[in-house]
């Protein structure tokens, strides 16, 4: 490697440096009491996550083209997504969409680290909502820590009951919405009200509800630190210009115990070692120890530190989003970011092109197996099967006629009807009156008319008498 990551050694025995805290690396250790903080980045998270939560909740209910915004119809093997309907043979189209989403995430990671985790990830957003309920009914962080040491009879049992009641309510709404993506919101609600709900649906309702309750109520940061794979491979997507939440060591060290309006020593830094940055961190790390894989870049420590800096009349930004160098962000030639952006652009273009060229119908004509021909009275007949897959959300009608050769007539009940999203097979017969002048094997052209759209199909007709 041509460049090495700069390393700074912190010696606890050095009086010029504050003591180094022990990082949270034990999977059994749980940050059981997180202090809530107000600030710019917490408002930004609410502004970003609010519309996503709303979309998540209304997607199974709001309909476009006769189907919910998101509906995975397992019975018909179709996916309804924002008015578009995808079938199993549209897998390549969905692959481009998945790649576009992945590259968008890579771009976000390259620009600002785990910004998705900190501001929009469902695990973080739901955990923050559960923390708010906890803080509302059980009190502040200090109060919760004190009560945790008391016997059960001396605790705030009413607050505990309300907290877990709301947790389970929020978890059930989440589980209901997940299942509604497969059942539709209206259909699932009617089945629950009427009691006509299958064992499988009941199982998944309980499973997703319990999983939400456990993840957001109890596991929380353990999912981010020890279960989510994103934290492990995030480092391959960042570079020296990536903005990450960081602590300005040169400005903050050595730490002191300053108070408002008290003259500061020339040798003391701006950090007063209040540890609020640790108390508000949802994953329980100390950002002053430097870059850590557990950090989800939520900005909570920035808001807490900025509030403290305001209170002691110091400039904000002791903890801030900064590149690896610790200096203000500089625009450079970033080949990795350019590559991700180009890949995102190509994926979006390919997805759009395939959506625009997506056909509404799948048609085919196949010969009946087992015999090349048979006799229908004195006429020579060949049997066929016409297959029509209707990819629209409305019923269609179709007609079939023979273009060439003109000697053939079709025997079939027409018009034929296919319901929305249905695939049907229709047997029909082509007749050649005697004497049949066609060759032993003759190419035939068929014209298919479906709701005003015309398709051409071809096959063969066999004449044994030639």
Whichever domain contains 437, its CATH number is 2.60.40.10
What pLDDT is attached to residue 231?
Answer: 77
What pLDDT is attached to residue 325?
Answer: 57
3-state secondary structure (DSSP) of residue 237: helix
Do 392 and 360 contact (CB within 8 A), yes or no? yes
What pLDDT is attached to residue 331?
Answer: 52
The strand ranges marked E within 358-452 are 361-367, 374-376, 379-390, 396-404, 408-411, 416-418, 423-432, 441-450
3-state secondary structure (DSSP) of residue 110: helix
Do 454 and 433 contact (CB within 8 A), yes or no? no
Task: Work out the percent of the chain whose per-residue pLDDT is above 90.
Answer: 63
On whether residue 71 sits in a domain, the answer given is: yes
* Sequence-ordered alpha helix ranges (H) in 313-379: 335-356
Same domain flag for 226 and 367 = no
Last residue of a domain, one of 233, 261, 277: 233
Token pair listed for 439 = 């060759």
Q: Half-sphere exposure (CA, 13 Å, Cβ side) for 285? A: 24
The total domain count for the chain is: 2
On whether residue 271 sits in a domain, the answer given is: no
Last residue of a domain, one of 198, 233, 268: 233
Q: How far apart are the C-alpha atoms of 347 and 157, rounded to whole Å?
A: 54
Same domain flag for 74 and 217 = yes
Token pair listed for 368 = 């009946």
Same domain flag for 216 and 365 = no
Do 387 and 364 contact (CB within 8 A), yes or no? yes
What pLDDT is attached to residue 79?
Answer: 93
Nearest in space to 244 (alpha carbons), one of 324, 333, 306 = 324
On whether residue 392 sits in a domain, the answer given is: yes
What pLDDT is attached to residue 212?
Answer: 97
Last residue of a domain, one of 210, 233, 256: 233
Dihedral (C-alpha) 141, 145, 146, 147: value to the nearest 10 degrees?
A: 100
End-to-end CA distance of the chain: 79
On whether residue 286 sits in a domain, the answer given is: no
Same domain flag for 367 and 228 = no
3-state secondary structure (DSSP) of residue 411: strand
Give the residues across from 122 on adjacent strands: none
What pLDDT is attached to residue 264?
Answer: 53
On whether residue 106 sits in a domain, the answer given is: no
- Residue listed under structure tokens 């048609």: 363
pTM above 0.85, yes or no: no
DSSP 375-391: EETTEEEEEEEEEEEE-
Nearest in space to 24 (alpha carbons), one of 219, 281, 284 = 284
C-alpha pair distances (Å), 453 with each of 194, 360, 420, 446: 43, 10, 16, 14
Region class of 303: left (phi > 0), else alpha (psi between -120 and 50), else beta: alpha
On whether residue 161 sits in a domain, the answer given is: yes
Q: How far apart are the C-alpha atoms of 60 and 182, rounded to whole Å?
A: 9
Q: How far apart are the C-alpha atoms of 416 and 397, rounded to whole Å?
A: 5
| 328 class by beta-carbon count within 10 Å (0-12 exposed, 13-18 middle, 19+ buried) | exposed
Nearest in space to 365 (alpha carbons), one of 452, 422, 451, 443 = 443
C-alpha pair distances (Å), 76 with each of 30, 199, 457: 44, 20, 26
Q: Which domain holds residue 130?
A: 40-91+116-233
On whether residue 354 sits in a domain, the answer given is: no
Same domain flag for 53 and 195 = yes
On whether residue 393 sits in a domain, the answer given is: yes
What pLDDT is attached to residue 148?
Answer: 87
Do 388 and 363 contact (CB within 8 A), yes or no? yes
**What are residue 323's phi and psi, to 5 degrees?**
-75, 180
What pLDDT is attached to residue 30?
Answer: 54
Local confidence pLDDT in tens for the 466 residues of the chain: 445 555 555 554 444 444 444 444 444 455 668 999 999 999 999 999 999 999 999 999 999 988 899 999 998 888 999 988 898 888 899 999 999 999 999 999 999 999 999 999 999 999 999 999 999 999 999 999 998 889 988 899 999 999 999 999 999 999 999 999 999 999 999 999 999 999 999 999 999 999 999 999 999 989 988 888 887 787 788 888 899 999 999 999 998 865 555 555 557 889 999 999 999 999 999 999 988 888 999 999 999 999 999 999 999 999 999 987 555 445 556 888 999 999 999 999 999 999 998 888 889 999 988 888 899 888 899 999 999 998 887 889 999 999 989 889 999 988 999 988 888 999 999 999 888 888 899 999 999 999 888 899 999 999 987 6
């Amino acid at each position: 490697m041509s460049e090495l990551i700069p390393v700074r050694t912190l010696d606890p025995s050095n009086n010029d440096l504050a003591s180094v805290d022990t990082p949270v690396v034990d999977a059994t250790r749980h940050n059981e009491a997180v202090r809530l903080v107000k600030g710019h980045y917490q408002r930004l998270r609410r502004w970003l996550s609010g519309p996503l939560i709303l979309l998540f909740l209304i997607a199974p209910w709001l309909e476009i083209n006769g189907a919910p915004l998101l509906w995975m119809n397992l019975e018909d093997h179709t996916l309804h997504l924002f008015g578009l309907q995808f079938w199993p043979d549209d897998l390549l189209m969905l692959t481009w969409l998945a790649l576009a989403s992945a590259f968008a995430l890579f771009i976000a990671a390259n620009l600002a680290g785990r910004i998705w985790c900190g501001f929009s990830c469902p695990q973080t957003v739901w955990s923050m909502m559960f923390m708010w309920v906890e803080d509302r009914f059980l009190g502040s962080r200090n109060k919760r820590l004190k009560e945790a040491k008391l016997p059960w009879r001396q605790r705030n049992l009413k607050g505990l009951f309300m907290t877990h009641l709301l947790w389970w309510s929020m978890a059930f709404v989440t589980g209901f919405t997940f299942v509604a993506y497969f059942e539709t919101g209206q259909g699932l609600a009617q089945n629950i009200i009427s009691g006509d709900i299958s064992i499988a649906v009941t199982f998944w309702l309980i499973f997703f509800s319990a999983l939400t309750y456990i993840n957001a109520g109890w596991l929380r940061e353990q999912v981010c630190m020890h279960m989510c794979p994103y934290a492990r491979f995030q480092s391959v997507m960042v570079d020296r210009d990536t903005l990450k939440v960081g602590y300005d060591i040169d400005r903050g060290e050595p730490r002191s115990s300053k108070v408002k309006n008290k003259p500061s020593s020339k040798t003391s830094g701006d950090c007063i070692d209040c540890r609020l940055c640790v108390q508000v961190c949802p994953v329980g790390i100390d950002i002053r120890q430097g870059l850590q894989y557990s950090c989800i870049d939520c900005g909570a420590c920035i808001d807490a530190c900025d509030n403290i800096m305001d209170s002691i009349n110091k400039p904000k930004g002791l903890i801030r989003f900064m590149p690896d160098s610790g200096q203000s962000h500089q625009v450079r030639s970033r080949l990795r970011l350019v590559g991700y952006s180009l890949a995102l652009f190509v994926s979006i273009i390919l997805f759009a092109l395939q959506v625009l060229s997506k056909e509404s119908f799948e048609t085919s004509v196949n010969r009946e197996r087992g015999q090349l021909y048979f006799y229908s009275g004195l006429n020579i007949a060949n049997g066929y099967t016409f297959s029509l897959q209707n990819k629209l959300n409305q019923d269609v009608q179709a007609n079939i006629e023979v273009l060439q050769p003109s000697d053939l007539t079709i025997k079939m009940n027409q018009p034929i009807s296919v319901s929305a999203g249905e695939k049907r097979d229709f047997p029909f017969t082509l007749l050649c009156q005697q004497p049949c002048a066609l060759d032993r094997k003759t190419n035939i052209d068929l014209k298919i008319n479906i709701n005003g759209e015309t398709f051409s199909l071809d096959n063969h007709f066999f004449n044994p008498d030639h």
